[in-house]
Structure 1
Amino acid sequence: MTRPIEHIATVVRAGDGVVEVELTAQSACASCHARMACGMGESTRKRIEIATPEASAFTAGERVTVSVERNMGMTAVLWAYVVPFVVLLGALVAASLAGWGDGAAALSAVGGIALYYGALYLLRERLEKKIHFKIHKQ
């Protein structure tokens, strides 16, 4: 079994079955081959909400470890970066092959991306059930 992807985080708030944490990219991220794909390479701080029945056991300011299984992390990368790229490229190529002008082809590609992210937004609850973050006290 592969090791999960882990980050040290600070609890921002906790309650109602949700713990909001702030992740800070560590120096280990600089050497990670997937740092740009996971999004930690482009920013030093990220905030995420983690649903857990033990939310009341955490307090603001507490340092915790947040983890996600590697296959779930790769699933998130797929939906957030790979599929939109394919949609963008597919719409652009299809519009160009249909004989549309450059401007119309570009607009169709942007429209395809907008539709994709709209669908992703509508299906967010379903996706949240597939990608599970775990939170542990240090």
Structure 2
Amino acid sequence: MAMGEETVTHPGVVKKIEGDKAEISVISKASCISCSLKNVCSVSDMKEKIIEVDIADLGGHHEGESVVVEMKQSYGTWAVLLGYFFPFLVLFFGLMLFLHLGLDQGLAGILSIALLAPYYGILYLMRGYFKKRFRYHIQN
């Protein structure tokens, strides 16, 4: 990774090394670090996530070792855009188009929601591309 790029880091543990991939377990906690009640949060506010990392990025770590996983912050921005903002635009412009064509409001709403199926279908078909593009690295 280039120097000076903003990154997001998470501590994790190497769970499994298989072939050219390693699985890293990261505990995701609710974003309540500044909350005065953070000590009374339940375990349900934490979730284990498994992240896949290339062996080349592992840097000699072994199963059970603690590591720090990092990803470019811009990837998170793109994930939010692809998952929330662009679907909103599809809904909004689809609804405006169907209403402009003179369809009933209920039918226009249903059809604009139906436009999300091809959108998410395309994202699903492109999952291989996104898996290569949105990569995690082990911090050195």
Q: What stretches of structure 1 of length at least 5 have no aligned partner?
A: 33-42
Q: What stretches of structure 2 of length at least 5 have no aligned partner?
A: 35-44
TM-score when normalising by structure 1: 0.72
Let me know the Cα RMSD of the aligned residues: 2.7
How many residue pairs end up in the alignment? 126
Q: Give the match for residue 82 of structure 2.
A: 79
> 1:86, 1:31 → 2: CA distance?
32
2:8–2:73 contact (8 Å) kept in structure 1: yes
Q: Deviations over 1:103-134 (max 9, x none)?
A: 32222222211111110111122222322210
> 1:93, 1:77 → 2: CA distance?
23
Match of 1:4 among 1, 4, 7: 7
Match of 1:108 among 98, 106, 111: 111
> 2:59, 2:71 → 1: CA distance?
21
Q: Give the match for residue 44 of structure 1.
A: 46
TM-score when normalising by structure 2: 0.71
> 1:106, 1:52 → 2: CA distance?
47
Q: Give the match for residue 97 of structure 2.
A: 94
1:19–1:58 contact (8 Å) kept in structure 2: no
